[in-house]
Homo-oligomer: A and B are copies of this chain.
């Protein structure tokens, strides 16, 4: 018996090692692709595209084949069998069981494996090819304000993505299946409940702001600001927040993003001469993403234990730093003197004026990417409701422009005059991406929940922010979120960190208090 047990131990260790080796290989191929993508966005010469497309396609195929290979399925089954058999016989956790970390690696890989093996490769390729063709059509449709030019392709993408969802789970709501591609462990019902609460509470709040007589300073950052000086200031921002330059770098990209691993998490931003505030807040946002990545455990590199949880948690980190820190009054008390070193023309701007300018609500804005902290979520809600109904078959593509405009009128009180500034404004559907928009709002909601919990655990942060001290806040995030990687499923991660499940309560408290004060609102 002892020998059998020893053999069983050895065999399971072998199986797990083989499995982990495969997981690491897949992860390294993905991280290599990440570097190629960063390179493409940031430094690649214009005409490098044909070769880069082939390199990325090859890495993607290799990764897919490694994941969906029979060996992966057999290793998963063996490891899951071991755990179950051993639990059943002993009635308790035996030493041969997978430990908590190994179990998490198996769980995450199983999920990916099941999804990728259930969709025929032909369909994946058809979606990819259709999306490639959709992109120029969308671009032309938007340029010419001609929705009909894009409609047939959009229809095809909706059909294909519904078919894709049916392969993964024919019994489930197809929109819920697509949502789970971006946010695997939060129920669609939870997301819907959160968005519903945002809509119910933000619409009246924005109406109240619209009716308010308060006159905020909106031009604290008006002017023309040199690109090089903006870049120097962006580096000051990152220095000030504690960015680890030995594991990161700052570059410019047309669409700012951050990417990388815990050893090398890079930030990009962009500079426009007339938008100094935009480059500062965008840099802080991307810092939040990169800072999460840098907080993942070194020893987890190559497995899900060293990878970030999904889109909502990632976005909670960027929004926490951008909004709860970077748009706070104490932050501007801290940062304005630094900004004045680069831009003496800010000499006469007060922290209050900077704070007000950074928190102006644009209640007649039609464009999501130009939205403020409040109206942003209504843009999200509208797209969420429309794409959900499209995928479910409750809405025809031809009805989208009308429904879009009606919803803007209803929720935001403005009606787009063209589809170009209406339902054609965003690129995402042309990529075949349906289901992830809501993770932006979930991220904001979670940011507020985490910030409130941290604030309660550690005492008021305002004084620390005013002093430019971010170590305690970051330490709390490291301990409660970053270091866990994908060890816990998202609801457990949130519950462990904050003592409760995901809720919009703290976000609504935060915005009602903040904007109630800013706009002197009655009843807020």
List residues of A whose CB falls within 8 A of some B CB.
Answer: 24-25, 28-29, 31-33, 35-36, 39, 43-52, 54-55, 57-59, 61-62, 244-249, 261-264, 266, 298, 301-302
A28–B43 contact, CB under 8 A? no
Tell me the minimal C-beta distance from A63 to chain B in angstroms. 10
The residue on B at minimum CB distance from A26 is B58
Bound CA span A39–B37, Å: 12
Bound CA span A261–B57, Å: 17
A50–B249 contact, CB under 8 A? no
Bound CA span A248–B48, Å: 8
A45–B298 contact, CB under 8 A? no
B35–A248 contact, CB under 8 A? no
Bound CA span A52–B24, Å: 13
- A32-B32, A62-B62 known; A249 vs B43 contact (CB < 8 Å): yes
- A28-B55, A32-B32, A51-B264 known; A245 vs B45 contact (CB < 8 Å): yes
Give every chain B residue within 8 A of A44 (Cβ-Cβ).
264
Bound CA span A52–B57, Å: 20
- A51-B261, A51-B264, A264-B52 known; A59 vs B32 contact (CB < 8 Å): yes
The residue on B at minimum CB distance from A306 is B51
B301–A54 contact, CB under 8 A? yes
The residue on B at minimum CB distance from A262 is B51
Q: Which of A36, A47, A245, A302 has the most CB of B within 10 A?
A: A47
Tell me the minimal C-beta distance from A102 to chain B in angstroms. 19
A-B contact pairs, 7 of them (CB 8 A): A28-B54, A28-B58, A32-B36, A32-B59, A35-B36, A39-B39, A47-B246
B246–A46 contact, CB under 8 A? yes
A47–B249 contact, CB under 8 A? no
Tell me the minimal C-beta distance from A497 to chain B in angstroms. 26
- A43-B43, A43-B249, A248-B45 known; A51 vs B31 contact (CB < 8 Å): yes
Bound CA span A388–B298, Å: 44
Bound CA span A47–B25, Å: 21
A247–B62 contact, CB under 8 A? no
Give every chain B residue within 8 A of A58 (Cβ-Cβ).
24-25, 28-29, 32
Of the residues B39, B49, B247, contact of A48 by C-beta under 8 Å: B247
Bound CA span A262–B298, Å: 37
Tell me the minimal C-beta distance from A232 to chain B in angstroms. 16
Give every chain B residue within 8 A of A57 (Cβ-Cβ).
28
